[in-house]
A and B are shown apart, each in its own frame.
Chain A
Amino acid sequence: MGRDCHGGRVASRDVTARKSERLMNLVITLLVSRGYVGKDRIRRVVDGYRDQSDEAFEKMFERDKEELREIGIPIDLGSNDKMFDDEPGYRIRRDAFELPRIDLEPDEAAAVGLAARVWQHARLARQTSTAVLKLKAAGVAVDTTALTLVEPLLAAGEPAFEPLWDAVVAHRRVGFPYRRPGQQPTDRTIEPWGVLSWHGRWYVIGHDLDRDSVRMFRLSRVTGPVRAIGSASAFEVPPGTDLRALARQLEPRPGDGTATVRLLAGHGQALRRRAVSVRDDGGGWDVVELALTDPVSLAEEVVVLGPAVVLVAPAQLRAAVVRRLRRLTGTEEVA
């Protein structure tokens, strides 16, 4: 394979290479041209179109344009002279094609490099890598050792993640079966306003069209396929919508008051760490007082510690612990 045979290079290269070459030459032709390029000229100057039949060329050209648009290349259709009814042509506007100038300081470039490791979801990891690659191509030198950061890992294993993410970006309505805890799944139709990762769990927030209210859905509770409904750009997110504030409603409200437990000496280390006071109660036991912020998780912690702890007060929580233990011994039914 040599450069000297420029005019008649067809050669032994495989189908993919020939197609890549055709696509590249099409991009270059549309990019360097001053005006719109008519189809006839495209067919004449781009290797690979020339020797096709009319019909084959049309099909090939349509598919090529579509594939280039899919990788983000903006191909415009228009006409050079609006006064005359000449045949429309194609072009790629350089300002829409090229990455704008972006100068990153070394520590900023390092942050970008570390960002490339965040996504543990295959498609988003690939998209992030492509973005970083384009920045490298623009001359940014990425040296991740310039910065020591906590490395967050953003996983998204829920099957509903990808279709919901796409629907949020496209502003497209979706429907899906959803199971609330302790209930049978029901079908929901929403305008998805946003997605949210809350302490490692994914949610979608949106306008539930059947219930006519804003709801939040945990992605792991979507029990079946997410269906796209209708076209893109079908709704606007109401201006001023604060997804973070909506999500904050998720967090359990901190309670108040105190709880008292008896702890066997040397046991219940996590409880002792956040104790308000610890007093020796004799016989190898301590009385420990705690701020009661989350009764359910305190009851759970107490049950895990088994005979090393006794919940003394409040009485209601003591009764709840007893019920839990009785369920574990089989002397009380599981609800």
Chain B
Amino acid sequence: MSSATVLSPTAATAPQGVAVAAPTPDVLLPVKARKGFIGFLRRHPTMAIGGSLLLLMVLVAIFAPLLWTTDPTALAPARRTREPSAMYWFGTDMLGRDVYSRVLYGARVSLIVGFSVAILASVVGLTIGMIAGYIRLADSIIMRVMDGLMSIPPILLAIALMALTRGSVQNVIIAITIAEIPRVSRLVRGVVLSLREQPYVEAAVAAGTRTPMIIWRHILPNTLAPITVQATYICAAAMITEAILSFIGAGTPPIIPSWGNIMAEGRALWQVKPYIVFFPAVFLSITVLAVNLLGDGLRDALDPRMAKRI
């Protein structure tokens, strides 16, 4: 092979009489394919930014005790409502508690609620959606119930459910999950119905695959992408709902520092000490934004129509 390469003509030494095409110039310079984080950032900027912010929040929540915080529930009436300073980075609230410490510990509640609701609502919604998508009789009943639930705004439903029980993080999670289930179920049912019509599913039926195996092998893996995207949006919505529930006193018990609770306590002093509300609000916004960015990035990365582009 190598000898042939040496002997054979090249563009410069083409034999006489051979018409050689003029080379075409480069119109666009190729972008060097970068590996690692920079490459990922370039290809999926929203996912990279959202993911990093969220990861940062998770680290903050986990390592809150190590981040120069004090006991977030320690009362110190003598040092009430101090402005932010080198000593109290975010100031202190009306009971003298350190707002910086409370905000950092508050991240735990928000993230636990957000992730738990996202996972629980996805799993339950997936199950309900699968049943509705596969069993025609169950479909009409389940979907009417879901329609009914969806006619109530999720936040009202969660408030009503919280009114039936006592405030605890666990109950907040259950209430918000129930409120979010109809949306996931609808999504899954729609995806299942369209997947059932896919030729590869019909081919599997023709190839004698039993229904449980069809669902496990062909339907379920192909619903995971849209479910994952939906889960991130639910996570963001759940964090906001938790904050609202806490803010109006129907959520996390006031003893636990959560962003909603901190804002509720700072509400009375909003005019004179705005920083008590400001810092938890900023953290909530950043976390919700991070989760939504991650969701948008995932949607773009997982959407086959986008992937098929040139």
Q: Do these two chains really belong together in a complex?
A: no
Binding site for B on A (CB under 8 A): none
Contacts from B to A (Cβ < 8 Å): none
